[in-house]
Amino acid sequence: MKKRALALILSVATALTLLTACGGSTGASSSGSAAPAQEAAEPAEEAEAPAEAVESTIYPTPAGVTYTAIADGKSAPDWSEYEALIKEIKTTTDVENRVALMHKAEDILMGTAAVIPIYYYNDLYLQKTDVEGIYSNLFGFKFFQFATCPRDVLKINLASEPAKVDPALNSSVDGACLAVNMFEGLYTYDANGDLQPALAENTEISEDGLTYTFTLRDGLKWSDGTDLTAKDFEYAWKRAAAPETGADYGYMFDAIATTADGALDVTASEDGKTLTVNLVAPCAYFLDLAAFPAYLPVPQAQVEAAEGWETNPGAWAAEAGFVTNGAYTMTAWTHEESIVLTKNDNYYRADEVTIPEIDLMLSADDTAILSAYNAGNLDFADTVPTNEIASLMGNPDFHVIDNLGTYYAAFNVNSPIFEGKTVDQAIAMRKAFAILIDRPYIVETVGQTGQKVATSYIPAGMADGNGGVFKENGAAYNFPVGDGYYPEDVADNAIDEAIALLEYAGYEFDDNGMLSADTPIKITYLTNDGTGHIGVAQIMQQDFAEIGIQMEIDTREWNVFLDERKQGHFDFAREGWLADFNDPINMLEMWTTDSGNNDCQFGR
């Protein structure tokens, strides 16, 4: 799930020291008025490739991985092998072979060098010491519904204006936090981060692992007092999976079998008490899916009463007042400013909800958020300026917790900067960028809270679905470099090798090791508001400038940024993904051609 602002910001003094060579460019304003990234890019002229590709010793292509073009004359890799692997991973019953297939899929993904991991996430926040009972899980979901506070109103900041609040359409972490506090599914997570039954009173799993039968609790209600039944789940899941809904997470329902008419094989009993689900193959994480926001119920009557709902599926939840079934309902929404959540008395655990109102400040301005917190206008802030981290260490209000995810940058494989290049040349270009990035410096100067440098896309600590840890070398698999795809530190020969890779791609360099004016590289980096993201971008900008690459930083407001990235209107963009459940398939299936989260545009 996409991670919003991390609360990372470089102080002005530090930024001036670090970025003298970069010119401190910040690109477009948050109004989103700048031209799309493609218009700013200037592709080099087509060059003849040497007979043999130049292989990187720092970032070698994994053994057995080769690429062909998606089509004649294209530089994007053919993605059919990857698609077939993901399909096989989702349907195989051989769990040991499944692990091997997932390693092969990550090899293919990382071999493209289009996904460039920077560090593995952790999470930091501020919380007043008189507030208790807020909890989160490894996937970034924060639960406020069972918190206690000596005040009647809990005041929090999660991020700025949410892109989507319809559970089926959301794909951001802040949106997921809103979803799990306003809606409840068959399962949820407790304060220990463990999966627990929620609306499901009982769950039966067939001996072959293919059929799940959920029995719902008695007396469940929507916030408007109408009955909530298994039929609401049947409707919600089929809606989320339907192509016409356009949900980014539509692929999350691939574990469920389909009927002859193409609909999900999900059936509610006539009395609405039970929900029967048939799967394609046994799925060890299916109950985790049952707790995921895309699997939350939505009220059909209200969804289909909204004007234009057939072409705008999220219209029903575009303003406050929509029906929910969780601990809170949204009673006010001043766009770009604030949201008010009010306790839902029809929630089945309403007697455990002690805070009647939650007020959300909508902002991505780290400095303004901290000022509001220090003034007593916030009880919880999910962001902290980087230049304040050192002074906050040891403060009882300051918390650092574990997450399971990766902060990374990504290339659009169809960007004009790769025009006229072969597949191997385009990959060589991207590898040149990847090996120049000083990840430890980013962690030390921007992160500052013990983030681990990322050397692979699948994060450290993620399970492999077969009782082990995926990111470990063993008898069955060894990573190409150490425990990843490239070393943690910048290699001593990184500049020389980056130059060699770019020369292979047709670029020329002068005697000082700088790009020739005859073959410039000008690239635009797309990022959302947040001085932390900009700080990371500026460090990369400086790293690339060491060999003459010119990178402009194009900063957009959150919702504009999400749309531009999804549509492929960029050359190079900041990315982040928190796992939705603890299995590598979650981070691999998002790159299939039809996935709404395939920002790199693989296969397109």
Q: Give the SS3 label for residue 521.
A: coil
Q: Per residue in 22-67, pLDDT tens?
A: 333 323 222 233 333 334 344 444 445 455 678 899 999 999 999 9
Asked if residue 603 belongs to a domain, the reply is no
Mean pLDDT calculated for residue range 465-483: 94
Is residue 231 domain-shared with residue 364, that is, in the same domain?
A: yes
pLDDT at 72: 87
Bridge partners of residue 528, in order along the sequence? 556
Is residue 230 domain-shared with residue 139, that is, in the same domain?
A: yes
pLDDT at 349: 98
Is residue 78 domain-shared with residue 32, that is, in the same domain?
A: yes
Mean pLDDT calculated for residue range 180-200: 97
Asked if residue 597 belongs to a domain, the reply is no
Q: Is the pLDDT of residue 450 over 70?
A: yes
pLDDT at 278: 98
Where is the domain boundary, 378, 413, 432?
A: 378
Is residue 347 domain-shared with residue 436, that is, in the same domain?
A: no
Is residue 244 domain-shared with residue 153, that is, in the same domain?
A: yes
Is residue 508 domain-shared with residue 533, that is, in the same domain?
A: yes
Q: Which structural domain, as residue segments, surrounds residue 146?
A: 129-378
Q: Which residues contact 303 (CB under 8 A, 6 or more apart)?
A: 239, 309, 313, 316
- Cα separation, 407 vs 412, in Å, equals 17
- Cα separation, 496 vs 215, in Å, equals 63
Asked if residue 391 belongs to a domain, the reply is no
The CA radius of gyration of the chain, in Å to the nearest whole number, is 24
Mean pLDDT of the chain: 91
Q: What angle do CA 308, 306, 161 make, to 5 degrees?
A: 90
Is residue 279 domain-shared with residue 351, that is, in the same domain?
A: yes
Is residue 272 domain-shared with residue 303, that is, in the same domain?
A: yes
Is residue 79 domain-shared with residue 197, that is, in the same domain?
A: no
- Cα separation, 363 vs 379, in Å, equals 15
- The dihedral built from the CA positions of residue 269, 272, 273 and 275, taken in this order, carries a sign that is positive
Q: What are phi and psi of 506, to 5 degrees?
A: 105, 5
Mean pLDDT calculated for residue range 553-579: 95
pLDDT at 2: 60
Please state, as a whole number, how many other Cβ atoms lie within 10 Å of the Cβ of residue 164: 22
Asked if residue 384 belongs to a domain, the reply is no
Q: Per residue in 265-274, pLDDT tens?
A: 999 999 999 9
Q: Is the pLDDT of residue 353 over 50?
A: yes
- 62 exposure class (CB count in 10 Å sphere: 0-12, 13-18, 19+): middle
Total structural domains within the chain: 2
**Residues 549/27, Cβ–Cβ less than 8 Å:** no
Q: Per residue in 580-597, pLDDT tens?
A: 999 999 999 999 999 999
Q: Which has the closest alpha carbon to 503: 492, 512, 516?
A: 516
Mean pLDDT calculated for residue range 465-490: 95
Q: How many CA atoms does the CB half-sphere of 519 hold within 13 Å?
A: 18
Bridge partners of residue 153, in order along the sequence? 357
pTM of the model: 0.88
CATH number for the domain spanning 491: value is: 3.10.105.10
